[in-house]
Amino acid sequence: MLDELVARFGPWSARAAKVVVLVAERPRGLAELVGETGLSRRSVEAVLALAGARPDGATFRLATVPDGLAEHVRPRGTPERSDLLGTLTAWIDGAPAARRDLDHVAATPETALRRARWLDEQYDLATTPLLFVGDHDLTALAVTLVNPAARAAVVDVDEELLAHIDRTAVAHGLAVDCRYADLRFGLPPDLVGFADVAFTDPPYTPEGVRLFAAAALRGLRHREYGQVVISYGTGDGQPALGLKVQQALAGLGLYTEAMLPAFNRYRGAQAVGSRSDLYVCRATARTWRHLDRADPRTAIYTHGAQSLESTPRRVPELANLLDGEIAGVVGEDWPAGPPTTRLGTFLGSGLPPAIRRRPGTVVVDLAGDPGPWLLRSLLAATVPRLVAVVPDGHPDLAAPVPFVGLKYALDVRRHHPARGLATVTAEPVPVGELDTARRVQRHVLDRATATLASAWRDALVRHAGHSRDAARAAVTVPPGLRLLDLPRHRIAALLEEIATSVA
């Protein structure tokens, strides 16, 4: 019965369960049940039919309460614990420095705890998966600390932040899964349809709010009752900006079910009075008709090279890179000729067959790379030769990611094809030079856009001589997960685990 209610009502299933519990206590009429639960008459009737409640005149009765329902509607709200705020404060103080180019402004520890308690009071977190779309404020850690039965996933572009959240969760036994994603290029496939409630504190631009809200919507598994909770604030002298943001949400077909004023407080954010409101939104039928038509912009922030005021870098010298046999190019401003794909398509799902199956070099314009795109490009493309143009100060040029050496040998040419840029040429490391364990690792790296469990199993069978049953038993990752979506620190740890599985 509980599973049926969760499937039908999602995060509202606790209210639905209360209908059953009330009718089992004593006969009740529809008006009383509506008043006690806040559900509509239509929904109450659906619950009664699902529970098999018998009509008795103007009332309904039920002999017993199905197992698990009473606990599902318990008064939620954890006991006050004085140590929780101190623990959260230490975690937030130990987090990586805020990145101005990502519009990071940390919420106070008190706000993280307030959010966690509010979520725990509103939903039965044991049956309500949570998705945090960006989580610089560590709200996912807060909510799983407040309620250890909660299950959460975090998706973020900041690799250092993901490492901090992941390591903290593992150290304290909290159920928080971390995924890397630049939301402009899509949500990781295993998080699509994952959650009943999605929470986000997005960049405070109409474009940023729309992008993060759209990603949150894609993360919902329940289209009728799933909820998107958004932190957003505007300065007292900027009502026009607030209107634009609300129009962006309305453009997604989102209905604002509730708004809690000044719910969030920040360490900074003086432009918005160091506080923001909490919007509780639900999708409408219009949302799902128009969601996939969104064309997210690269510029969504208020600061840095990818802010709304920034000018995209144009590199006229890109044509000089098209020497020899070119399989295809990735980017927007290439000369006509070779097959072309968009950067978002490439970083989200890899190269299309029209490029992947052609011999020759793939050239990628990463001149606007904020940091993580180069590694993701090297993972997403398995080709005879790849040439990427990146900013000359790219962090991965000074300290290359070690596991990339299992797949590609890299050659870096500074100040090319123009000042301020660098060219990275990647050529595959011959598989014959690798031992068995590294061949298995390489097989998985070459298939970063495929399902990780499948690639790992195939690698053990092909390169380590495992039977299919033995390979299946050795794989320890959940279905649907891709290597491309793991934070880089997790990829390094996973490759060690893959090497161990060879024995």
Distance CA 67, CA 63 (A): 13
Asked if residue 126 and residue 272 are part of one domain, the reply reads yes
Asked if residue 484 and residue 454 are part of one domain, the reply reads yes
Distance CA 335, CA 466 (A): 48
Tell whether 236 is covered by a domain: yes
Tell whether 68 is covered by a domain: yes
Distance CA 483, CA 441 (A): 11
Order of strands across the sheet that contains 59-61: 28-29, 59-61, 54-56
Tell whether 310 is covered by a domain: no
- Would you state the pLDDT for residue 461? 97
Distance CA 38, CA 15 (A): 8
Asked if residue 165 and residue 35 are part of one domain, the reply reads no
Asked if residue 178 and residue 100 are part of one domain, the reply reads yes
End residue of a domain, out of 428, 452, 485: 428
Distance CA 452, CA 444 (A): 7
The predicted model scores a pTM of 0.90
Number of structural domains in the chain: 4
Q: Are residues 364 and 373 in contact, defined by beta-carbon separation less than 8 angstroms?
A: no
- Would you state the pLDDT for residue 304? 47
Asked if residue 424 and residue 482 are part of one domain, the reply reads no
The CATH number assigned to the domain holding 279 equals 3.40.50.150
- Would you state the pLDDT for residue 384? 96
Asked if residue 349 and residue 443 are part of one domain, the reply reads no
Distance CA 94, CA 84 (A): 15
Give long-range contacts, CB 8 A cutoff, 24+ apart: 54-63.
56/27, 58/29, 59/27, 59/28, 59/29, 60/23, 60/27, 60/28, 60/29, 60/30, 60/33, 61/23, 61/26, 61/27, 62/20, 62/23, 62/24, 63/24
- Would you state the pLDDT for residue 308? 42
The CATH number assigned to the domain holding 24 equals 1.10.10.10
Asked if residue 373 and residue 334 are part of one domain, the reply reads yes
Distance CA 202, CA 251 (A): 17
End residue of a domain, out of 406, 428, 450: 428
Closest CA to 349 of 377, 385, 327: 377
Tell whether 171 is covered by a domain: yes
Asked if residue 248 and residue 107 are part of one domain, the reply reads yes
Tell whether 306 is covered by a domain: no
Asked if residue 269 and residue 132 are part of one domain, the reply reads yes
Distance CA 495, CA 474 (A): 13
- Would you state the pLDDT for residue 310? 44
- Would you state the pLDDT for residue 78? 57
The SS3 call for residue 72 is: helix
Asked if residue 90 and residue 55 are part of one domain, the reply reads no
End residue of a domain, out of 241, 261, 293: 293
pLDDT tens digits, one per residue of 340-379: 999 999 999 999 999 999 999 999 999 989 899 999 999 9
Distance CA 335, CA 394 (A): 25
- Would you state the pLDDT for residue 242? 83
Distance CA 436, CA 365 (A): 34
Q: Are residues 442 and 431 in contact, defined by beta-carbon separation less than 8 angstroms?
A: yes
In this prediction, the residues of the chain whose per-residue pLDDT falls under 50 are: 294-296, 301, 303-304, 307-310
Asked if residue 328 and residue 185 are part of one domain, the reply reads no
Percentage, residues of the chain above pLDDT 90: 65
Distance CA 53, CA 400 (A): 64
Q: Which residues contact 208 (CB under 8 A, 6 or more apart)?
A: 103, 202, 300, 301
Closest CA to 272 of 283, 281, 282, 263: 263
For residue 424 the two structure tokens come to 């990275």
Asked if residue 446 and residue 402 are part of one domain, the reply reads no
Residues in the chain: 503
Domain extent at residue 36: 2-72
- Would you state the pLDDT for residue 307? 44
- Would you state the pLDDT for residue 219? 97
Q: Are residues 231 and 276 in contact, defined by beta-carbon separation less than 8 angstroms?
A: yes
Paired residues of 454 in beta bridges: none
The SS3 call for residue 44 is: helix
Type and span of the H or E element at 363 = strand 361-365
Tell whether 34 is covered by a domain: yes
Tell whether 303 is covered by a domain: no
Tell whether 215 is covered by a domain: yes
